[in-house]
Amino acid sequence: MSRFVCELRTKRSEGALVRVLSHVRRRRYEVVRLAMQTEEDGATFALTLTVEAERSPESLARYLAKLHDVTHVKISDDSRAATAG
């Protein structure tokens, strides 16, 4: 089981947030932490997901990058996991 951080930006369109979260779940990744805000332009959502899964972070990044409204995806290690305990 790995834990990683996924930062992404998506256009603020109908259902954008639930579409991202729906795809994360569908591909069998679990969101354990979520931060989200609307960017200054009012037209973009920025999300930071901390995700746990047996499957690879790179695969999730490729799935999310396919979504029409997603404009940016970045995967990184969960620094909290590295520093916690």
Partner 1 sequence: MNGAQAFIRALEGESVEHIFGYPGGAIMPVYDALLDSSIRHILVRHEQAAALAADGYARATGKVGVCMATSGPGATNLVTGIANAFMDSVPVVAITGQVSRLLMGTDAFQEVDIFGITLPIVKHSFLPESVDELPDVVAEAFAIARGGRPGPVLIDLPKDLTLAATSATHRPHAGSFAPPAAPEEALARAAELLRASRQPIIYAGGGIGIGRAVEEFRQFASRTRIPVVATLKGLGSVPTTHGLFLGMMGMHGTRASNLAVQVCDLLISVGARFDDRATGRLKDFAPHAKVIHMDADASEVGKLRKADVALVGDLPALLGALADLTGPLDIESWRVECLANKAAYAWNYDLPTDSVYAPWLLKRLSDKVGGNAVITCDVGQHQMWVAQHCDFQRPEQHLSSGGLGTMGYGLPAAIGAQIGRPDATVINVSGDGSIMMNLQELVTVRRYDLPIKIVLIDNHALGMVRQWQELFFEKRYSEVDLSDNPDFARVAEAMGIPALRVDRKDDVESALDQLLNEPGPVLAHVVIDPVANVWPIVGPGRSNAEMFEGERR
Instruction: Summarize as ranges the residues that interact with partner 1 (CB under 8 A).
Output: 14-15, 18-19, 22-23, 26, 56, 58-59, 62-63, 65-69
CA–CA distance, 12 with 80 (Å, rounded to integer): 28
- As measured in angstroms, the least distance from the Cβ of 40 to partner 1 is 22
* Beta carbon nearer to partner 1, 3 or 23: 23
CA–CA distance, 54 with 19 (Å, rounded to integer): 22
CA–CA distance, 78 with 71 (Å, rounded to integer): 22
- As measured in angstroms, the least distance from the Cβ of 56 to partner 1 is 8
